[in-house]
Homo-oligomer: A and B are copies of this chain.
């Protein structure tokens, strides 16, 4: 099952038979005070730098989110997307909770985008599925619905199945959905990791779909988060999460290591090139 994304002149394939694809998460004001303030002032100057740095670190898709408080996303999101695609030739993951902003982004994006995101909530399905269908975009689907985030992998699979049913009624195919099994913090629930992993395993086994995840959510509140994120990306990667959203500047080499040890990196050249491209420590 191949999820195909396109940049201005590039194509990225996400599938069980090809290497894990890193979606760069940095163009997002969440937790970034300086970037939030800049966005509130209409200053988009950081975006080109962030785009280039993530591409250099191996991101193959870039998430673009400008959702800081009081920002007009409908105006700013398309502008940000254009800056990113003027800087790097990569597919865009258009990230907003506002359907009008998603549509504004879809109107300007070059190639085939990924929408971030839909979930099983009735309103969300009604607002976002028609956009994906109309603009021929792929779609991240979080396995939660009107009742919240299910506790068990079996319940999360049911939500995934109902989202898939709804999507197919809009002509959206299974290969155009990237399910997110939802990673919660192990500091709050020490079984949270296993629930995400088992959810991913069930989705891959039952629906065959490709998946994304915000693996770093698992390490909130813990020390040595980078190590935990490496382990979580590995555990999820092995059960089918083949397009994680992460910070390429921190997790890039880990993704290459996973691809190497999963047999996706002939001669290890991808890993070695990524290592050589790293800023030297000394």
Contacts known (A231-B230, A262-B193, A262-B194); A224 close to B238, Cβ less than 8 A: no
Encode contact with B along A173-212: 1 for CB under 8 Å, 0 otherwise: 0000000000000110011011001000000000000000
Shortest Cβ distance from A271 into chain B, in angstroms?
Answer: 7
Bound-state Cα–Cα, A231 to B236, Å = 12
Q: Does A258 contact B (CB under 8 A)?
A: yes
Q: Does A227 contact B (CB under 8 A)?
A: yes
| Interface residues of A, dominant DSSP | helix
Query: Do residues B231 and A263 form an inter-chain contact, with CB atoms below 8 A?
Result: no
Q: Report which residue of A230, A260, A267, A275 has the largest number of chain B beta carbons within 10 angstroms of its beta carbon.
A: A260
Shortest Cβ distance from A57 into chain B, in angstroms?
Answer: 14
Query: Do residues A257 and B231 form an inter-chain contact, with CB atoms below 8 A?
Result: yes
* 8 Å CB contact of A235 from B223, B228, B238, B265: B238
State the interface size on chain A (CB cutoff 8 A).
35
Encode contact with B along A30-59: 1 for CB under 8 Å, 0 otherwise: 000000000000000000000000000000
- List residues of chain A with CB under 8 Å of any chain B CB: 186-187, 190-191, 193-194, 197, 218, 222-224, 227-228, 230-232, 234-235, 238-239, 253-254, 257-258, 260-263, 265-268, 271-272, 275
| Minimum CB distance partner of A230 in chain B | B230
Identical chains in the assembly: 2
A-B contact pairs, 8 of them (CB 8 A): A186-B261, A193-B260, A194-B261, A227-B257, A228-B260, A231-B254, A234-B238, A235-B261
Interface contacts beyond A193-B263, A224-B253, A227-B230: sample of 14 additional A-B pairs, CB < 8 Å, sorted by A: A186-B268, A190-B265, A190-B267, A194-B262, A197-B262, A223-B272, A227-B254, A230-B231, A230-B234, A231-B234, A231-B254, A232-B261, A234-B234, A235-B258
Bound-state Cα–Cα, A272 to B258, Å = 25
Closest 4 CB pairs of A and B: A193-B261, A194-B263, A234-B234, A231-B257
